Structure 1
């Protein structure tokens, strides 16, 4: 059995650019199984990738997938290293107004600088939606 390592850095306290998220989505669509997601220093980026996999590849409804984000930070959106949770909260807030798939939402509405500022300033995710 061979192992193919694909490295795409996600940081737990920095919003990833849309192009990186979309690249990860494409990798998840194309990858052969079985798959192991591993985070170097944090479980929240790994949980984020698992969540994206469930939403985009497996078409799991958004209401169920957030459980993939670790309870390491006890699900506290503004925990110091939990920006990936906040990204998903903003996505969910956008879906409240109009259902948009994660990939399309990332292509058309995602702004990593706005998300990063929101994460630090702590407005409710619906304000960024």
Structure 2
């Protein structure tokens, strides 16, 4: 395995692990902890996802750089591209709407009692990203 492929594989699987741990484990569990109110849970979520997304951007840049420097297969490029595009969609289109929504909930506005569909969009993009990362990581290792 070439050095760029090894770096790409490491970054892809590290990124995958972070997304899986935060989005599918920490996020839903925090609201079940004793004493965690909705405002506290939203505050924690904002901090955690801001940090996660920052790490994801760095990892996406590492993956892209490693792929540019290496000779990846089409499968690796497409799968990694899907993950990067899903991340960009989350950051540009979904996160601002989630921030508006959490601001309204924290202010006790009329939306505070309703379930948000924007969270489902974010979750759907997380699933797309996870699949893209999994396929890219396996393809790099198989390559």
Q: TM-score normalised to the size of structure 2?
A: 0.31
**Relative to total residues, which structure has the larger helix share, 1 or 2?**
2
Q: Look at both structures and tell me which one has the larger radius of gyration over its CA atoms.
A: 2
What is the TM-score of this pair, normalised by structure 1? 0.33
Which structure has more RCO (C-alpha within 8 Å, separation ≥ 6)?
2
